[in-house]
Amino acid sequence: MRSKVVTREEALKVFKDGQTIMFGDWHGELSAEEIITGMLEIGVKDIDAIAVSGGMPDQGVGRLIKEHRVRSLKTTHIAFNPLARDQMFAGELDVEFVPQGTFAERIRCGGAGLGGCLTPTGVGTDVEKGKQKLTINGKEYLLELPLHADVAVIKAWKADTAGNIKFRLTARATNNYMAYAADTVIVEVEELVEVGEIGPDEVDVAAPIIDMVYVRTGEKKPLCPMWQRAKAKAEGGK
């Protein structure tokens, strides 16, 4: 069986300016940080990003926003990244806010090849502007269109050489469904095992969905910067 394991340099060849890229994380945590570091190093720019939030200035897609590499962002919120807020108000970053459940469903539709989904969420608010509204059995719904990307950059706990991957607990977050909604899927993992070491019932995303597996070379189970700061504050008593 062909191995999908690649070096970081091989993975980075996928990226080009102007791509639509999904970033699987959770507000900057649980993200493929070493791949993102590589994107910064090779100078990828004009990214149309799709991420559950704007990350933070020092983690996740927030690092790319900080360096003005992102031109648009579809997201549920940017509360943890003041730089994203400032760029939005300055007209430097085009932000589309999407309710979180709708965000997940639009990506699921993109992966399943559906034409969109109907939801009552957002009816009567700014969310409905410019969208088709349908009335079904006396109730109003918005037609939300699918989201699809050129590349999805996700993070998992472990993978086998064929590309079957497994997440740890809540780390699947948005990493799980984004894997199905992109032309090319790159997964950064902490551990690599041989085919058969991840049991059939343990596979969260099957090998045919994954294009490249990159095994991170740094700390295998890093504590995200937000929790590092919280830990330091607790230990310092401040």
Averaged pLDDT of the chain: 93
Whole-prediction pTM value?
Answer: 0.91
Q: Binning pLDDT at 50, 70 and 90, where does residue 221 land?
A: low
Instruction: List helix spans (H) across 90-198.
Output: 100-112, 175-178
Hey, which residues does 153 pair with through a beta bridge? 23, 186
**Greatest pairwise CA separation for the chain in angstroms:** 59
What is the torsional sign of CA 212, 145, 61, 232? negative
Model pLDDT, residue 237: 61
> Is a pLDDT exceeding 70 seen at residue 99?
yes
> Is a pLDDT exceeding 70 seen at residue 113?
yes
At position 184, the amino acid (one-letter code) is T
Q: What is the pLDDT of residues 130-173, one digit of tens each?
A: 999 999 999 999 999 999 999 999 999 999 999 999 998 877 77
Contact 156, 204 (CB under 8 A): yes
Model pLDDT, residue 51: 96
Model pLDDT, residue 2: 86
Contact 188, 216 (CB under 8 A): yes
* Beta-strand runs (E) in the chain: 5-6, 20-23, 47-51, 70-75, 94-97, 117-119, 133-136, 139-144, 149-160, 165-166, 182-193, 212-215
Mean pLDDT across 31-57? 96
At position 43, the amino acid (one-letter code) is G
Contact 172, 50 (CB under 8 A): no
> Is a pLDDT exceeding 70 seen at residue 223?
no
Q: Binning pLDDT at 50, 70 and 90, where does residue 238 land?
A: low
Of the candidates 66, 75, 67, 69, the one whose C-alpha atom is nearest the C-alpha of residue 25 is 75
